[in-house]
Amino acid sequence: MPADRLAEVSDLFVVAAVLLYLFSMVGFALELAFGRARSDGAARRGRVPVAVGGAAGGAEAADGARPDAEEGVEPPSWAPKAGVAALVLGWLGWAANLAAIVTRGLAVDRWPWGNMYEFVVAICFAAVTAFLVMQVRQNVRFLGPFVMVAATLGLGFAVKVLYTAAGPVVPALNSYWVAIHVTAAILASGLFILAGVAGILYLVRGDGLSRLPSRADLERVAHRAIVLSFPVWTFAVIAGALWADKAWGRYWGWDPKEVWAFITWVAYAAYLHARVTAGWRGRAATIVQLIAFGCLLFNLIGVNIFISGLHSYADVN
Amino acid sequence: MAVKEMEKERAPQPAGFGVLGWVRWFWRTLTSMKTALILLFLFALASVPGSLVPQRGVEPDKVARLFQDNPTLAEWYDRFQLFDVFTSVWFAAIYLLLFTSLIGCVLPRTATYLRELRRRPPAAPRNLSRLPHHAALTADLTVEEAARRLRARRFRVDTGDGWVAAEKGYLRETGNLLFHVSLLGLLVAVGIGSLFGYRGNVLVVEGDGFANTVANYDRFIPGREVSAESLEPFSFELKDFKATYQVQGDKRGQELDYSAYLRVNDTPTAPARDYELKVNEPLEIDGTQTYLIGHGYAPVFRVTDGQGQVAFEGPVPCLVEHKPTLTSGCVVKAPDARPSQLGFLLRFLPTSVPLTDGTYASAFPGELQPEVQVLAAFTGDFGVRSGRPQSVYELAPPDLMKKLKPLVMGTAVPRPLAVGKSLDLPDGAGRLEFTGVKEWVTLQIAYDPGRMPALIFAGIATVSIALSLMIRRRRVWVRIGGGGSGTVEVGGLTRTEGSAAGFAEEFDDIVQVLTAGDRDAR
C-alpha cells in the first residue's frame, strides 16, 4: 500500500478508536451506575485470599448508595453485561489505536511519535494499555469510565487541534534515540494518567457512602501505577539527557522541556516521600500526586504550545 | 536520691536549650522528612521561572531584547537573578539545603542498614495467627527441611527450637540508599563539569577552517578552572556542506538531512582525516565534542570602489530571516572603498521566483535559483575604524546610520542579481558583483569532564530506584508443632505498606512449597 493510503487508513483507525473508547466508556459507566459489579467481581475473582479489607469496604459503600441494591435486591441483570461489553469494546478500541499507530509508522517510515499529534495518540494508547493490563491482574473496572473519558478526550484533542499530516521529521529527530527516549516518556505518561485518574476519584469521593471504590483502593491503584512509572520516567529523562548530549552538545541545558520534565520528576518524588511522611498520607499525598500530574500535562502539552524551546517540534499552528 | 534525679530530669527542658541544643534542633529539623518534602517543593517551584523568563545561558539574545524593550522589568528580573535561575544564589541555597538534608537522612539510615544486614531475622512471634498473612497446615516437616525450602527461595533464614524465621528483600533498602547517594554523585559530576568544562560557538564558511583556540570562538563560555592552554589542540577545515529538503507535499521545504564534510587534524602533527559531521553525530576528539547546530548561506561578493579598486571580496554569512525558505538578510561593508566607504543591505533568495506584484521571494530553501536583492546601498562613515565593537550583521550603529548617504533605496529596488551579475552604483560610486554562493555552519564545541561520571551516577540512580520501588521487604515464620503432630503454622508479614495484595500470592506459594515440597509446587 502506498504511503499516503496508509496514512489515510491510520486516520480512520484513530476515529474508530475514539468511537470505540466512547462506547466503552458508556458501558463502564452503566455498569458503575446500575450494577454491583465490583462486589461481585471481588468475590468471584478471589485471587487475594487474605487482607482485602479495602475491597470489602468498597463493596459495602456501593451497596449503601442505592437503596434498591440492598442485600437480596438484585441489580438489573444487564448491568454486569454492560461492563463486559465495555471491556470488549475497550480492547477493540485498543486494537484500533494500535493499528493507527502501526499504519502511521509504516506510512512515514520512522517511529510514529515525531510530533505532538502522534505523541498524544501514543500516550492515549499507553494509558488504555496500562488500564487494560491492570484489569487483567485485578478488578479495576471502576476506573473504566474515567480512563476511557481521558483517552477519548486525548484522542479527540489530538485529531481536532494537533493533527499533522504524515510526513518526515526534522533531522534532529532522525535518531534511534526517538525509540528509546520518547517511548519511555510515552509509557510513563500512560501510567501517570492512570494514577491521575485514580487520584481525582480519590478527591471526588466523599467520606460517606459512595458508588466509587474505597479510598484505600484508589490510593493503591495510584501508588502502584506511580511505583512503576517513576523509574520509567527517570529513565526517560536520562535517555533524553543522553540524546541531548548527542544532538545539542550538552546533556542538560535547562531548555523549558527539560525544566518541566525535572519539575515533574521532583513533584512525583515529593509524592513518594509524602506517602511515607506522617501527616501527609492519604489526602495530602494525593493532592501532591495531582500537582505532579498537572506538571506532567503542562510539560506534554503546555510547553510545546506556550513556550518556545529546542523541543518545539510540535508542529502546532 | 530524689532531689538529684529531679534536677537531672529538668535539665533538657526548653529553658536550657543552649547552643548545642539549638544546633541539634536545627539538624533534626533539617533532616526530617517534612523538611525534605518542603525543600523538594521549593526545588520544583524555584525551577518554574527558569522556563518562563529567558535564561542567559540558553537564549542570551532574548535577554538582551528584554533589556532593550523593558529596561525596568529587566533590571528587576536581574536583581533577583531571574535570568540565571539555575546558577542563582537562591536556587543553590535550596538544593544545597536539600542535599544536606539528604545526607543527614541517608547517613544514619546507612548505619542502621549495615547493622541490620548483619543481624539474623527476628525470632518467631508467639502467636503467628495474629499476623496479616497466616496459614495452618499439616505436613511432615522438620525445622531443617522448612529452613532448606525457604533458603531455596532465597530467603535469609534463622532457626530456633521448633521455629524458622526467614526474611527477604534487603535490596529494597540497598536500592533506596544507593539512589540517594547516586543523586549526590550526580550533583558532584555536574559541578565538576561546570568548573572544568567549557562551551563555545563558532560560525565556519565552506572553505574556511577552525583551530581550537579561545581567540577563534565567536562566543566562549569557560568554566572557572579552564585555562586557554587546556584546550584540545585540534583543527579542521569545512570542505563542503550538503543539505536535502522535502520537495513535495505539505512539508515542502522541510530539512531532511544535512552534513558538514570536515578535514580534521586531531593534533597539529597528526595526519588529516575526513569526517562527516551530522546532527546527532558529533565529532569527538579526546573528550572534546564538536556539534553541528545550524546552517545558512554565505553569498560571495566583490565590491569595486569608485576608483576601480577591489575594496572587498569574499563570502558574507547571512542571517536566516525565514527558516522554511532560508530567505536571509546580509550586510556587506567595504570600509576600504575610496573615495568613501560603501555598504549594502541585501536579501539572499536561495530559490528566487517573481511574484505577481513584481517583487521576488524564495520558494524553496535549496539553492536552485540563487539571487541577491539589493535593498539599499549607502556611502559614508560606517564606524568600522572607530574602535567600538560592531556587529557584522548590522551596517552601522544607529547614530551613524542617520548620517549615511543612500545611493540605492526604497521603491526603486532593482531586479535581483543572479550569480555572475553585478549592480553599478549611481554616479560611478562603485560596483557590487555577486560571484557565487557558499554555505556556513554553526558549530558548538564542548568539553565536559563531568559527562561520564554523570552518566554512571544517573544509570545507578535509575536501576536503584527501580529496585527500591519494586522490591518489598517480607518476613515469614514457620512454627512446627511439638511431638511430631504434623501441625505447622506459617505467618507472613510485609514491611512495605501498600503491597499486601501482591505478597498474598507469594505467601500462598510459600505455603504450597512448605506443604508439598518445592518440586511438586511447580
Biggest CA pair distance of chain B: 124
C-alpha angle A193-A197-A199 in degrees, rounded to nearest 5: 110
Contact flag A246-B282 (C-beta cutoff 8 Å): yes
Query: CA-nearest residue of chain B to A256?
Result: B51
**In 10 A of CB A193, how many CB atoms?**
27
**In 10 A of CB A213, how many CB atoms?**
29
Residues in CB range of B184: below 8 A, 6 or more apart: B99, B102, B103
From CA B427, how far away is CA B304, in angstroms rounded? 14
Judged by a CB distance cut-off of 8 A, whether residue B258 touches chain A is yes
Decide if B379 contacts B312 (C-beta within 8 A): no
B502-516: pLDDT as tens digits: 677 788 888 888 877
Q: What is the pLDDT of residue B498?
A: 55
In a domain, A287, yes or no: yes
Residue B3 predicted with pLDDT over 70:
no
Nine-digit cell at A152? 477519548
Q: Which residues of B touch A277 (CB under 8 A)?
A: 33-34, 37
Residue range B2-29: mean pLDDT, rounded: 63
Higher pLDDT, B475 or A72: B475
Q: Which residues of A touch B505 (CB under 8 A)?
A: 47-48
Best residue of A45, A50, A115, A286 to probe chain B, by most B CBs closer than 10 Å: A50
Contact flag B257-A47 (C-beta cutoff 8 Å): no
Smallest Cβ distance to B47: which of A47, A170, A262? Answer: A262
From CA B41, how far away is CA B38, in angstroms rounded? 5
Higher pLDDT, B130 or A207: B130
Mean pLDDT over the full length of chain B: 82
Nine-digit cell at B308? 576601480
Q: Which residues of A touch B254 (CB under 8 A)?
A: 167-168, 170
Contact flag A277-B33 (C-beta cutoff 8 Å): yes
Residue B478 predicted with pLDDT over 60:
yes
Distance from CA of B508 to the nearest CA of A (A): 9
From CA B429, how far away is CA B425, in angstroms rounded? 6
Nine-digit cell at A284? 495530602
Mean pLDDT over the full length of chain A: 77
Decide if A9 contacts A88 (C-beta within 8 A): no
Contact flag B465-A234 (C-beta cutoff 8 Å): yes
Strand partners, B405: B379
Residue A49 confidence class, pLDDT cut points 50, 70, 90 = very low
Task: Compute, in degrees rounded to 10, the torsion defined by CA atoms B189, B194, B195, B198.
Answer: 130
B375-421: pLDDT as tens digits: 888 888 877 777 666 677 777 777 777 777 777 776 556 678 888 88
Contact flag B279-A250 (C-beta cutoff 8 Å): no
Higher pLDDT, B177 or A311: B177
Query: CA-nearest residue of chain A to B494?
Result: A51
Q: What is the pLDDT of residue B420?
A: 86
Q: Which residues of A touch B57 (CB under 8 A)?
A: 253-254
Task: Compute, in degrees rounded to 10, the torsion defined by CA atoms B50, B56, B62, B64.
Answer: 130
Strand B133-138 versus strand B352-354 pairing type: unpaired
From CA B505, how far away is CA A154, in angstroms rounded? 36
Residue A315 confidence class, pLDDT cut points 50, 70, 90 = very low
Strand B209-211 versus strand B283-285 pairing type: unpaired
Quickly tell me which residue has 576608483 as its cell.
B307
Distances (CA, A) of B519 to B310, B466, B514: 95, 31, 11
Q: Is the dihedral of CA B107, B109, B110, B112 positive or negative?
A: positive
Distance from CA of B213 to the nearest CA of A (A): 18
Residue A68 predicted with pLDDT over 50:
no
Residue B53 predicted with pLDDT over 80:
yes
Nine-digit cell at B417? 542579481
Phi, psi dihedral angles at B260 (to 5 degrees):
-110, 125
Tally C-beta pairs within 8 A across A and B: 153
Distance from CA of A5 to the nearest CA of B (A): 14
Contact flag B458-A241 (C-beta cutoff 8 Å): yes
Q: Which residues of B touch A138 (CB under 8 A)?
A: 501
Say whether A2 sits in a helix, a strand or coil. Answer: coil
Q: What is the pLDDT of residue A62?
A: 39
Best residue of A110, A259, A306 to probe chain B, by most B CBs closer than 10 Å: A259
Q: Which residues of B touch A309 (CB under 8 A)?
A: 51, 58
Q: Which residues of B touch A220 (CB under 8 A)?
A: 498, 501
Decide if B165 contacts B123 (C-beta within 8 A): yes
Smallest Cβ distance to A248: which of B41, B44, B291? Answer: B291
Q: Which of residues 125-154 of A touch B (CB under 8 A)?
A: 138
Strand partners, A307: none
- DSSP-derived letter for residue B481 is P
Q: How many domains does chain A have?
A: 1
**pTM confidence score:** 0.79
Higher pLDDT, B517 or B87: B87
Closest CA to B297 of B277, B275, B322: B322
Q: Which residues of A touch B279 (CB under 8 A)?
A: 171-172, 174, 247
Judged by a CB distance cut-off of 8 A, whether residue B458 touches chain A is yes
Residue A47 predicted with pLDDT over 50:
no
Nine-digit cell at B250? 505539505
Residue B485 predicted with pLDDT over 80:
no
Strand B273-278 versus strand B283-285 pairing type: unpaired
Higher pLDDT, B129 or A91: A91
In a domain, A239, yes or no: yes
Smallest Cβ distance to B58: which of A138, A170, A255? Answer: A255
A208-250: pLDDT as tens digits: 666 777 777 888 888 888 988 999 999 999 988 888 888 877 7
Distances (CA, A) of B23 to B19, B26, B27, B29, B105: 6, 5, 6, 10, 16
Query: CA-nearest residue of chain A to B57?
Result: A253
Smallest Cβ distance to A51: which of B133, B278, B448? Answer: B133
Smallest Cβ distance to A251: which of B133, B451, B461? Answer: B451
Q: What is the pLDDT of residue B389?
A: 67
Higher pLDDT, A311 or B265: B265
Residue B262 predicted with pLDDT over 60:
yes
Residue B71 confidence class, pLDDT cut points 50, 70, 90 = confident
Q: What is the pLDDT of residue A290?
A: 92
Residue range A146-151: mean pLDDT, rounded: 88
Residue B256 confidence class, pLDDT cut points 50, 70, 90 = confident
Q: What is the pLDDT of residue B497?
A: 60
Judged by a CB distance cut-off of 8 A, whether residue B452 touches chain A is no
Judged by a CB distance cut-off of 8 A, whether residue B57 touches chain A is yes
Contact flag B256-A175 (C-beta cutoff 8 Å): no
Residue A128 predicted with pLDDT over 60:
yes
Range with top average pLDDT, A253-257, B137-141, B270-274: B270-274
B340-371: pLDDT as tens digits: 888 888 889 888 888 887 788 888 888 888 88
Q: What is the pLDDT of residue A233?
A: 92
Contact flag A170-B190 (C-beta cutoff 8 Å): no
Q: Which of residues 231-270 of A touch B (CB under 8 A)?
A: 231, 234-235, 238, 241-243, 245-256, 259-260, 262-263, 266-267, 269-270
Q: What is the pLDDT of residue B411?
A: 58
In a domain, A176, yes or no: yes
Quote helix, strand, coil % in chain A, to nearest 5.
75, 0, 25
**In 10 A of CB B177, how many CB atoms?**
19
Residue range A158-176: mean pLDDT, rounded: 76
Q: What is the pLDDT of residue A294?
A: 92
Q: Which of residues 69-128 of A touch B (CB under 8 A)?
A: none
Q: What is the pLDDT of residue A82?
A: 79
Q: What is the pLDDT of residue A43?
A: 36
Query: Which of B9-23, B151-165, B228-242, B319-333 is the least confident region?
Result: B9-23
Residue B467 predicted with pLDDT over 80:
yes
Quickly tell me which residue has 480512520 as its cell.
A12
Q: Which residues of B touch A256 (CB under 8 A)?
A: 51
Residues in CB range of B245: below 8 A, 6 or more apart: B252, B253, B254, B255, B256, B364, B365, B366
In a domain, A141, yes or no: no
- DSSP-derived letter for residue B338 is S
Q: What is the pLDDT of residue A41?
A: 34
Say whether B288 sits in a helix, a strand or coil. Answer: strand
Residue A75 predicted with pLDDT over 70:
no
Task: Compute, in degrees rounded to 10, the torsion defined by CA atoms A237, A240, A242, A246.
Answer: -160
Decide if B508 contacts A49 (C-beta within 8 A): yes
From CA A254, how far away is CA B461, in angstroms rounded? 20
Decide if B379 contacts B340 (C-beta within 8 A): yes
A250-263: pLDDT as tens digits: 788 788 888 888 88
B275-288: pLDDT as tens digits: 998 888 888 888 88
From CA B195, how far away is CA A40, in angstroms rounded? 63
In a domain, A74, yes or no: no
In a domain, A174, yes or no: yes
Q: What is the pLDDT of residue A44?
A: 36
Residue A302 confidence class, pLDDT cut points 50, 70, 90 = confident
- Reported as type and span, the H/E element at residue B10 is helix B2-10
- Reported as type and span, the H/E element at residue B99 is helix B89-118
Judged by a CB distance cut-off of 8 A, whether residue B38 touches chain A is no
Q: What is the pLDDT of residue B489?
A: 82
Q: What is the pLDDT of residue A56?
A: 37
From CA A26, how far away is CA A138, in angstroms rounded? 21
Best residue of A202, A243, A245 to probe chain B, by most B CBs closer than 10 Å: A245
In a domain, A7, yes or no: no
Judged by a CB distance cut-off of 8 A, whether residue B456 touches chain A is no
In a domain, A8, yes or no: no
Helix axes A78-108 and A37-45, enclosed angle (nearest 10): 80
Strand partners, B494: B474
Q: What is the pLDDT of residue B271?
A: 87
Domain ranges, residue A287: 170-317
